[in-house]
């Protein structure tokens, strides 16, 4: 597996492969890899000839500097996992390589109303930072296809909006959430959970599963109220939102008959903020 620190080295590697007609897939990550990321590599292998994984902890998408500072960076472990998964190349630039004029460089695009809903209410400017770095990664790799996890449901929507904004010819693939045996969605942040937090964190997948299992029995409002009640009297868990929404607009769904419904949740468990979702239809 090749490791690239600069865009120039990465482009020099990809150019002859492209000339041979090879298709390139990009799997963008911030590292601290788990089996969810590896599933993206595996799915990419079915769609492209050359798989590039990027590892870059992007400063512009963190609203809380403490969160950026404590973001896990187990780089040796990440490289070993990618190598074992058969990834062809890893792009690991430093901050100057991606932001030569400083991380405060100008970036603002219209991502639509959904930017300001759900995560957008709790992490101001987050999706501007995400789309800013993903556009830079797309420019560096020029992939045919890019893989993203469904766990960051709103992120995928924002990236698709960014793609339309710039009219980029890249296929975005949304990959299913990979869960631990007990239902917890895999996340790089799970390593921050204490033993008690880890148990409490199951409330996210349990409340979502409740909605899925009982969708035919209640109205949308009743389902949301019942799902939210899972979080009452649970010490150390603070619910930010639980919503059943239109998967295209993220607006709260009023009727069960509406198409593309998804249940989305965010909660702080101990000091770790977790998100999860399940597609209803
Ligand atoms: O999902 C992530 O890990 C990040 O938001 C991404 C897409 C790699 C951009 O930094």
In a domain, 192, yes or no: yes
pLDDT in tens, 13-32: 999 999 999 999 999 999 99
* Whether residues 193 and 86 fall in one domain: no
Q: Residue 11, class by beta-carbon neighbours within 10 Å (0-12 exposed, 13-18 middle, 19+ buried)?
A: middle
Last residue of a domain, one of 175, 208, 232: 175
What is the distance in angstroms between the CA of the first residue and the CA of the last residue of the chain?
A: 39
* Domain housing 161: 2-175
Residue 254 has pLDDT above 90, yes or no: no
Q: Which residue has the tokens 């409002």?
A: 221
In a domain, 159, yes or no: yes
CATH value at residue 140: 3.40.50.620
User: What DSSP designation does 167 have?
Assistant: T
Task: Work out the percent of the chain whose per-residue pLDDT is above 70.
Answer: 100
> How far does the centroid of ligand 1 lie from the alpha carbon of residue 29, in Å?
5
Integer-rounded Cα radius of gyration of the chain: 19
In a domain, 147, yes or no: yes
pLDDT in tens, 131-176: 999 999 999 999 999 999 999 999 999 999 999 999 999 999 999 9
Average the pLDDT over 234-255 and give the result: 96
* Whether residues 197 and 239 fall in one domain: yes
Quote the CA–CA distance of 128 and 109 in Å, as a whole number.
7
pLDDT in tens, 30-58: 999 999 999 999 999 999 999 999 999 99
> How far does the centroid of ligand 1 lie from the alpha carbon of residue 27, in Å?
9
Mutate to test the pocket of ligand 1, among 26, 62, 133, 163 (most ligand atoms within 8 A of CB): 133
pLDDT at 178: 98
Catalytic residue among 34, 37, 108, 192: 37
* Whether residues 150 and 212 fall in one domain: no
pLDDT at 81: 98
Sign of CA dihedral 53, 55, 56, 62: positive
CATH value at residue 268: 3.30.1300.10
Residue 237 contacts by C-beta under 8 Å, 6 or more apart in sequence?
200, 203, 231, 267, 268, 269
Residue 8 has pLDDT above 90, yes or no: yes
* Whether residues 32 and 158 fall in one domain: yes
Q: How many domains does the chain have?
A: 2
In a domain, 56, yes or no: yes
* Whether residues 162 and 23 fall in one domain: yes
* Whether residues 22 and 49 fall in one domain: yes
> How far does the centroid of ligand 1 lie from the alpha carbon of residue 194, in Å?
24
Mean pLDDT of the chain: 97
Residue 98 near ligand 1, beta carbon < 6 Å: no
Q: What is the dihedral of CA 279, 35, 162, 126, to 10 degrees?
A: 90
């Amino acid at each position: 597996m090749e490791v690239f620190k600069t865009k120039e080295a990465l482009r020099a590697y990809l150019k002859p492969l492209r000339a041979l007609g090879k298709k390139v897939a990009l799997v963008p990550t911030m590292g601290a890899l788990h089996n969810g990321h590896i599933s993206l590599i595996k799915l990419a292998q079915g769609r492209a000839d050359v798989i590039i994984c990027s590892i870059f902890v992007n400063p512009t998408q963190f609203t809380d500097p403490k969160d950026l500072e404590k973001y896990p960076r187990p780089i040796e472990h990440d490289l070993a996992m990618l190598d074992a998964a058969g990834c062809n190349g890893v792009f690991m630039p430093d901050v100057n390589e991606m932001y030569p004029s400083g991380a405060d460089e100008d970036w603002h695009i219209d991502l639509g109303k959904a930017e300001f809903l759900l995560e957008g209410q709790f992490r101001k400017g987050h999706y501007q930072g995400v789309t800013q770095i993903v556009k830079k990664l797309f420019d560096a790799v020029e992939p045919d296809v890019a893989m993203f996890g469904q766990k960051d449901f709103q992120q995928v929507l924002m990236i698709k909006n960014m793609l339309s904004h710039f009219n980029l010819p890249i296929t975005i693939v949304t990959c299913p959430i990979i869960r631990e045996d007990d239902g917890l969605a895999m996340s790089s942040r799970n390593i921050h959970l204490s033993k008690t937090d880890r148990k409490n964190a199951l409330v996210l997948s349990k409340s979502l599963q409740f909605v899925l299992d009982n969708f035919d029995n209640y109205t949308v409002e009743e389902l949301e109220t019942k799902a939210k009640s899972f979080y009452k009297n649970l010490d150390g868990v603070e619910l930010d939102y639980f919503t059943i929404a239109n998967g295209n607009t993220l607006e709260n769904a009023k009727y069960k008959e509406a198409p593309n419904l998804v249940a989305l949740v965010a909660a702080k468990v101990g000091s770790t903020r977790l998100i999860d979702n399940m597609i209803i239809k």
